């Protein structure tokens, strides 16, 4: 039997079928004249083998655990072990957050994920005036090593893996983590975890930047190089599309802008003289699980293939581990509604399933009440149980990449790949992601998508159950979790005590050494470690660096 | 269109959170409805917001916070406006703001609070009806 003959007969059969259906449709139209997914890709009525006729199985898909990793980064995927169930948490004080972590570990969570408050994320101590109203609100307040000691009290850092959502001051929090682990008797060589450390998406989407791009990239490559030697199992960066998507991008833009940022980090590291196969395997990624189920599955698959091609062909990586996208996923916070919040449990479940069918390495499932406030313990529990049900009950974990071979999923995987690749080429022409961001290109693309999405909802072209259709009368939930406003007073008190107790001469010397190092070209990590050990505060360390590096001034893209 | 003067709005992000999707979408909607919008960018202190509002001579301040710091920052902006003798500006708040916080914010002088799910059409129409244009 010849393939060509099959194709020809399929083509003519399909034409015949389509004609017949079109006739029926002209009398009884479909729901919409055109079906578009969130990336604006037209979705056809039917996909057949003709749609992936371009596809070459070995080249485009291959086997799981093998280049180009379209089907997954491990050969056995969830047959070997499930993804890490990792709920992002942290609020108020280190004591409070420590309690929540122990609760989550008791509930069967397998990794920690630390949320920091905003003053911590942008390098201010809790006693800074700018921090009033924000201390402990969206995460835990960390001012010094002392707080990190409390945060992980009774949690053996050798045994858990910890992800920290920290970017501009990532080096400082990582240094604190290493020192606390050492004090517990652990070796840095055994520490597992991730720092987000992805400053480019802070400029474009998330907003917790401190320093301008150039010194920021230097700190990042200093971390790459320090960890390659001393903390080899640590994921030194989590290149994040999550926040790009939350800021309003489409699925295609999420992949394109994330991988373009990834390219910029690799470029910077190569320029700093690092070996691509030494730091490459420690790059990790972070994606969003949004509503369009099959688009999301295809998105993860496309991202794996595209990054593999980039690392091999563009950067000449030899180690297959450098070519793998290992990624964390979080369900899309922006899709949660304040109306009928219990519906969010269902949204999250489908989003989580798409991440699992897309081959994620770890997962955070959002809690139903997050459009209203910080999640309650009950809603966090349901969110975590959602993952456990997918893992243990649905059976989707028993074979690798089960949606492969779906005519639609394969066609969509290729389409997303092509469109993201075209964006990356455009960003290359602009001189790379840092330039594209400084010119406001990325921000404008994202804000335009966000605006269109909102317009679609308001014009009811996009239906959100409970929001613009299917209303019910309901009482808004009460007893939402609130952060005790006395957290700031306590933190300020702790800081005062600490500053009276510590050896202030040693602090001064350590900060002076950091100042000298930052003016020169030394790796900043050992200097920051020293300052942290002496209980220099996060704000003090950032002040030294702000003094030398200056602060980033964002471009206004609403002009 | 009876009004010859365009409504001027300061779209502001007080506090430290970087969630600017909401405020940008609202700002774009206000612009598209014919208003003049000045966007402050992120991390504005109450003092900076009040200064910009006075300097730009706006009719409306629209603030957005998603970090939970509204309980301190919104009233602070109102306090500073009062100190400057500004009493005719329409001041609005938006973001993740629990229902039970709204009465206190209104007490402080925030005219209306728009939570998640609000349409931009509603915001535009609210401003058109309530802005104090001379």
pLDDT digits (tens, 9 = 90+) for A209-265: 999 999 999 999 999 999 999 999 999 999 999 999 999 999 999 999 999 999 999
What 3-state class would DSSP assign to A309? helix
Contact B116 A371 (CB under 8 A): yes
In this predicted structure, the answer to whether residue A479 has a pLDDT above a threshold of 80 is no
End-to-end CA distance of chain A: 62
Phi, psi dihedral angles at A219 (to 5 degrees): -60, -40
What stretches of A274-366 adopt beta strand conformation (E)? 283-289, 327-331, 362-364
Report the distance separating Cα B96 and Cα A35, nearest Å: 32
Q: Is the pLDDT of residue A91 over 90?
A: no
pLDDT at B12 over 80: yes
Over residues A371-379, mean pLDDT? 88
- Give A334's contacts in chain B (Cβ within 8 Å): 21
Do β-strands A327-331 and A112-114 pair in parallel, antiparallel, or remain unpaired? unpaired
What tens digit of pLDDT does each residue of B47-98 get? 999 999 999 999 999 999 999 999 999 999 999 999 999 999 999 999 999 9
Residue B2 has pLDDT above 90, yes or no: no
Interface of B with A (CB under 8 A): 11, 15-21, 24-25, 27-29, 31, 37, 39, 41-43, 45, 67-69, 71-73, 96, 98-100, 115-117, 119-121
Mean pLDDT computed over A189-217: 97
Here the ipTM equals 0.94
| Distance between CA atoms of residues B3 and B35, nearest Å | 11
pLDDT confidence of residue A2: 65
| CB spacing of B117 vs A338 below 8 angstroms | yes
* pLDDT at residue A54 tops 70: no
Are A380 and A99 a contacting pair, CB within 8 Å? no
Q: What are the respective helix, strand and coil percentages of chain B, to the nearest 5? A: 45, 20, 40
Note the pLDDT tens digit of each residue in A102-114. Answer: 988 888 887 899 9
For the record, the structure tokens of B78 come out as: 């109102």
A339 contacts in chain B (CB < 8 Å): 117
For residue B104, the model assigns a pLDDT of 97
Contact between A364 and A86 (Cβ < 8 Å):
yes
Q: What integer pLDDT is reported at residue B3 of this predicted model? A: 52
Could you read off the pLDDT of A322-371 as tens digits, one per residue? 999 999 999 999 999 999 999 999 999 999 999 999 999 999 999 999 99
Provide, rounded to the nearest whole percent, the portion of chain A with pLDDT above 70: 99
Q: What percent of chain B has pLDDT over 90?
A: 93
CA diameter of chain B: 39
Rounded to an integer, what distance in angstroms lies between the CA atom of residue A148 and that of residue A141?
10
CA A243 – CA A374 distance, rounded (Å): 18
What residue of B is the nearest CA neighbor of A552?
Answer: B42
Interface test with A, best of B9, B33, B68 (most A CBs within 10 A): B68
Task: Identify the three-state secondary structure at position A238.
Answer: strand
Domains belonging to chain B, first-starting first, are: 8-130 (3.40.50.280)
Query: A222-259 burial, b if ≥16 CB within 10 A, otherwise e?
Result: bbbbbbbebbeebbbbbbbbbbbbbbbbbbbbbbbbbb
Q: For residue B29, what are its two tokens?
A: 């909607």
CA nearest A318: which of A289, A346, A353, A280?
A: A280
Among residues A299, A298, A520, A310, which one has the least CA distance to residue A410? A298
Is B120 within 8 Å of A458 when comparing Cβ atoms? yes
pLDDT mean across residues, chain B: 95
Helix, coil or strand: residue B133:
coil
- Measured CA to CA in angstroms, residue A382 lies from A88, A348, A349, A465 at distances of 14, 10, 10, 20
Beta-carbon contacts of A378 under 8 Å, excluding residues fewer than 6 positions away, are none
User: Between the CA of residue A145 and those of A406, A502, A530, A533, what are the distances in Å?
Assistant: 51, 11, 11, 7
With a cut of 90, say whether residue A477 has pLDDT above it.
Answer: no
How many Cβ atoms are within 10 Å of A339's Cβ, its own excluded? 21
Q: Would you call A7 helix, strand, or coil by DSSP? A: helix
Pairing of strands A283-289, A327-331: parallel
Task: Check if the beta carbon of residue A116 is closer than 8 Å to that of residue A139.
Answer: yes
Chain A contact set for B69 (CB, 8 A) = 133-134, 137
Average pLDDT of the residues of chain A = 95
CATH topology of domain A75-458: TIM Barrel (3.20.20)
Q: Is the pLDDT of residue B42 over 70?
A: yes
Say if CB B41 and CB B64 are below 8 A apart.
no
Q: How many CB pairs under 8 A join A and B?
A: 102
pLDDT value of residue A228: 94
Which residue is closest to B13 within chain A, CA to CA? Answer: A207
Helix, strand, coil shares of chain A, percent, nearest 5, are 55, 10, 40
Residues 6+ apart with CB under 8 A from A538: A120, A123, A124, A125, A142, A143, A144, A169, A172, A173
**pLDDT of A176 strictly over 70:** yes
**pLDDT at A163 > cutoff 70:** yes
What is the spatial distance between Cα B83 and Cα A479, in angstroms, rounded to a whole number? Answer: 35
The confidence score (pLDDT) of residue A214 equals 95
Q: pLDDT band at residue A60, thresholds of 50, 70 and 90?
A: very high
Residues 6+ apart with CB under 8 A from A391: A78, A82, A83, A85, A356, A397
A3-29 average pLDDT score: 93
Contacts of B17 by beta carbon, 8 Å cutoff, 6+ apart: A118, A134, A138, A207, B42, B65, B66, B67, B69
Q: What is the pLDDT of residue A481?
A: 80
Contacts 24+ apart (CB under 8 A), A473-476: A474/A339, A474/A340, A476/A338, A476/A372, A476/B99
Test mutation, A165, A542, A558, chain B, max B CBs within 10 A: A558
Binding-face residues of A in 184-203 toward B, CB within 8 A? 202
Helix (H, G, I), strand (E, B) or coil at A465: strand
Burial class (CB in 10 A: 0-12, 13-18, 19+), A107: middle
User: Chain B residue with minimal CA distance to A456?
Assistant: B119
Q: Which residues 222-261 in chain A show a CB within 8 A of chain B?
A: 246-248
Q: Reduced to 3 states, what is the DSSP secondary structure of residue B88?
A: coil
Q: List pLDDT tens digits, range A266-325.
A: 999 999 999 999 999 999 999 999 999 999 999 999 999 999 999 999 999 999 999 999
Does the bond joining B128 to the residue before it have cis omega, within 30 degrees of 0?
no
| pLDDT given at position A367 | 96
Joined tokens for residue B7: 């409504």
Domain ranges of chain A: 75-458
Residue B129, phi then psi, degrees to nearest 5: -85, -30
Mutant choice from B14, B15, B21, B95 vs A, greatest count of A C-beta within 10 A: B21
Predicted local confidence at residue A1, as pLDDT:
46
Q: What is the pLDDT of residue A498?
A: 98
Lowest-pLDDT range of A93-102, A330-339, A451-460, A534-543: A93-102
A542 pLDDT higher than 50: yes
Q: How far is B116 from chain A (nearest CA, A)?
A: 6
Whether A248 sits inside 8 A of B73 (CB atoms) is no
* DSSP conformation letters of A164-224: E---TTHHHHHHHHHHHHHHHT--GGG-EEEE---HHHIIIII----S-HHHHHHHHHHHH
Strand partners, B64: B94
Contact A39, A251 (CB under 8 A): yes
The C-alpha atoms of residue A134 and residue A128 are separated, in whole angstroms, by 11
By Cβ distance, the residue of B17, B24, B99 closest to A118 is B17
- At residue A63, the 3 state secondary structure works out as coil
């Amino acid at each position: 039997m010849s393939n060509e003959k099959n194709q020809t007969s399929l083509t003519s059969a399909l034409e015949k079928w389509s004609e017949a259906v079109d006739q029926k449709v002209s009398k009884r139209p479909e729901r919409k004249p055109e079906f578009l997914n969130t990336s604006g890709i037209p979705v056809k009525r039917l996909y057949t083998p003709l749609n992936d006729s371009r596809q070459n199985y070995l080249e485009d898909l291959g086997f799981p655990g093998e280049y180009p990793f379209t089907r997954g980064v491990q050969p056995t995927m969830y047959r070997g072990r499930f993804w890490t169930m990792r709920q992002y948490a942290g609020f108020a004080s280190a004591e409070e957050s420590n309690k929540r972590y122990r609760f989550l570990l008791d509930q069967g969570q397998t990794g920690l994920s630390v949320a920091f408050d905003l003053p911590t994320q942008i390098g201010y101590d809790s006693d800074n005036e700018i921090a009033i109203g924000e201390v402990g609100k969206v995460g835990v307040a960390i001012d010094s090593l002392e707080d990190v000691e409390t945060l992980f009290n009774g949690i053996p850092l050798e045994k858990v893996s910890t992800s920290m959502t920290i970017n501009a001051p990532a080096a400082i929090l990582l240094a604190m983590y290493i020192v606390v682990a050492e004090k517990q008797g652990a070796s840095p060589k055994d520490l597992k975890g991730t720092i987000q450390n992805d400053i480019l998406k802070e400029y474009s989407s998330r907003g917790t930047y401190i320093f301008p791009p150039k010194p920021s990239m230097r700190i990042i490559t200093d971390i790459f190089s320090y960890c390659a030697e001393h903390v080899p199992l640590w994921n030194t960066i989590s290149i994040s599309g999550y926040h790009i998507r939350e800021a309003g991008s489409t699925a295609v833009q999420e992949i394109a802008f994330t991988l373009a940022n990834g390219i910029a980090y690799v470029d910077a590291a190569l320029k700093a003289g690092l070996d691509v196969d030494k730091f490459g395997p420690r790059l990790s990624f972070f994606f969003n699980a949004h509503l369009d189920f099959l688009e999301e599955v295809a998105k993860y698959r496309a991202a794996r293939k595209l990054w593999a091609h980039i690392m091999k062909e563009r950067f000449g990586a030899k180690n297959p581990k450098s070519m793998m996208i290992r990624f964390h996923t979080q369900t899309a916070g922006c899709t949660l509604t304040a109306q009928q919040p219990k519906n969010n449990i269902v949204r999250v479940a489908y989003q989580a399933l798409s991440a699992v069918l897309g081959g994620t390495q770890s997962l955070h499932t959002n809690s139903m009440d997050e459009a209203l406030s910080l999640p309650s313990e009950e809603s966090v529990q349901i969110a975590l149980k959602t993952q456990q049900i997918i893992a243990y009950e649905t059976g989707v974990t028993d074979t690798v990449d089960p949606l492969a071979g779906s005519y639609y999923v394969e066609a969509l995987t290729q389409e997303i790949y092509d469109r993201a690749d075209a964006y990356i080429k455009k960003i290359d022409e602009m001189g790379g992601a840092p330039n594209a961001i400084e010119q406001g290109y990325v921000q404008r693309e994202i804000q335009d998508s966000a605006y269109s999405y909102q317009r679609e909802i308001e014009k009811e072209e996009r239906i959100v159950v409970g929001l613009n259709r299917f209303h019910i009368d309901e009482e808004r939930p009460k007893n939402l979790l609130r952060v005790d406003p006395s957290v700031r007073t306590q933190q300020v008190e702790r800081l005062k005590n600490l500053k009276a107790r510590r050896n202030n001469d040693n602090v001064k010397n350590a900060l002076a050494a950091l100042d000298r190092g930052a003016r020169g070209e030394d790796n900043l990590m050992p200097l920051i470690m020293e300052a942290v050990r002496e209980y220099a505060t996060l704000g003090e360390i950032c002040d030294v660096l702000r003094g030398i590096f200056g602060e980033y001034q964002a471009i206004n893209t609403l002009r | 269109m009876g009004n010859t003067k365009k409504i001027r709005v300061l779209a502001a992000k007080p506090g430290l959170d970087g969630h600017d999707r909401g405020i940008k979408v609202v700002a774009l909607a206000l612009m598209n409805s014919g208003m003049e919008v000045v966007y402050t960018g992120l991390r504005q202190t109450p003092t900076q917001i009040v200064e910009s509002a006075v300097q730009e001579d706006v009719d409306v301040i629209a603030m957005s916070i998603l970090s939970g710091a509204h309980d301190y920052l919104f009233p602070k902006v109102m306090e500073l406006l009062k100190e400057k003798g500004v009493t005719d500006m329409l001041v609005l708040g938006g973001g993740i703001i629990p229902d039970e916080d709204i009465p206190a914010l209104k007490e402080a002088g925030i005219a209306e609070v728009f939570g998640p799910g609000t349409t931009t059409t509603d915001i535009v129409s609210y401003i058109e009806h309530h802005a104090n244009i001379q």
